[in-house]
Amino acid sequence: MSSITPELVGKRLELLKQALPGVGRVAVLWTPGGVGGHTQADMMKEAEVAARALGVRLHVVEAQRPVDFDRAFSDITRVRAGALTVLPHVMFLREGKRLVELAAQNRLPAVYPSREFVDAGA
């Protein structure tokens, strides 16, 4: 079993919308090329399809390195995203505690790709 399946991206958005029915804009944190071009393109496509079906607008935010996180969250708050979804990437997994803390500091409900984020406090 793998969390790096495109279909799960749409399912996580669906769960987020169920938890926050009034959310209109969701930020998507990702790293281009992070899990392979084809898989990642499919993940973004699934996110867009799910967002349209759920009536949610996506705001895609890129983070190539951990030093990009502060800028990414600044961008997320600037556009007034109501929630966050994080796409799978090993860097995000390694930095899970920091991502969870940044989401909490910015009062941003979030859905993550794996249990390790829950263990980090999500």
**Cβ(27)–Cβ(85) below 8 Å:** yes
List of domains in the chain: 6-119 (3.40.50.2300)
> What is the distance, to the nearest Å, from the Cα of residue 118 to the centroid of all Cα atoms in its chain?
14
Give pTM, 2 decimals. Answer: 0.88
- The reported pLDDT for the residue numbered 1 is 43
Coil, helix or strand at residue 23: coil
Q: How many whole angstroms separate alpha carbon 11 and alpha carbon 119?
A: 21
Sheet of strand 110-111, all strands in order from the earlier edge strand to the far edge: 57-62, 25-30, 83-86, 110-111
Quick one: which of 121, 107, 101, 122 has its CA closest to 12? 122
Average pLDDT over residues 90-113: 94
Q: How many whole angstroms separate alpha carbon 33 and alpha carbon 38?
A: 9
Residue 2 has pLDDT above 80, yes or no: no
Residues 39-97 have pLDDT tens digits of 677 888 888 999 999 999 999 999 999 999 999 999 999 999 999 999 888 889 999 99
